[in-house]
Amino acid sequence: MEIPFLGIEISATLILFLMVLAWLYHGYKQRERDLNEEDPRPKIKQRGRGMDFSASRDAAQLNARFQQAFIPMEPHEEDALRAFYLDELGLTEMRAPNYPKDVDGFWAVSGTRQIYFGTQPSFAFDVHALPSFPIANIKTVAQQLAASGHPVVWDNSTAYVQRLIVTDPAGTQIALIRG
C-alpha cells in the first residue's frame, strides 16, 4: 500500500518503521534524563539504595491520586523524625518531583500520600489536617511504638476503621489507619 505525501509515495512499512524509531529514541532520551541527577523532572521508578524514584509517577501508573502533607520540624529534629517515620513506621524516602536536592527536610511516601518533613513549606499544603498514613500491620506497629515509649491511642469513633493516634518525636500528632 502506497500513501501519497507531498507528492512522494511513502509505504506504510516505512511510516511504521519511523514511528518505532521515534518511540525508541524517546525512550533513550527519557532514560538519559532519569540518570541525570541535576534534572528536576520526575524520575522513572528506581528503588534501591539511592531512593531515586518518583512516587507521583508510580501512582500515575496505578491510576492513583496523590495527597500531599506537610509535617513541620526543626532542623535538629531531622534525624529523630527520619528514624521514627522511615524505620519505625516503614515509610519510604523518595526524591520529590521538581524539588531540588540538598534543601532542608526530606520527603517520604506512604501509599498514595507524599509527606514533606521540613522547616518551611515551599508550596501550599493543608496544614490544619491531621496527617494520616495507611499502615498494613497496624497492630504490630502499635505494639512496637508502645515498646519504644511512644504514647499510642486507639480512635474507635468509626466502627469499621482501625485508627491509631500517635505523637511523633517533634510533637506532631498523626493518624495511622489500617490499610
| C-alpha distances in Å from residue 111, one per residue of 18, 21, 67, 81, 114 | 39, 36, 10, 19, 8
Chain mean pLDDT for the chain: 74
Indicate yes or no: pTM above 0.95.
no
The predicted structure's pLDDT at residue 34: 66
Specify the higher pLDDT residue, 111 or 52.
Answer: 111
Q: What is the mean pLDDT of residues 155-163?
A: 83
Q: At 3, is the secondary structure helix, strand, or coil? A: strand
In contact, 117 and 68? CB cutoff 8 Å: no
Rounded CA-CA distance 139/20 in Å is 51
Angle in degrees, CA 157, 161, 165, rounded to 5: 65
Q: Are 114 and 56 in contact (CB under 8 A)?
A: yes
In the predicted model, is pLDDT for residue 57 greater than 70? no
pLDDT of residue 20: 92
Q: Range with the lowest mean pLDDT among 67-81, 96-110, 133-147, 163-177? A: 96-110
* Over residues 117-138, mean pLDDT: 71
Q: pLDDT band at 22, cuts 50/70/90? A: very high
pLDDT of residue 50: 44
Confidence band of 99 (pLDDT split at 50, 70, 90): low
- In percent, how much of the chain has pLDDT > 70? 65
pLDDT digits (tens, 9 = 90+) for 59-85: 444 545 567 777 888 888 888 888 888
pLDDT value of residue 129: 67
- For the chain, the domains span 2-35, 55-178
Strands (E) located in 18-172: 67-72, 92-94, 106-110, 113-118, 132-135, 152-155, 163-167
State residue 2's pLDDT score. 59
SS3 at position 57: helix
Domain 55-178 class?
alpha beta
The three-point CA angle 126-129-115 to 5° equals 65
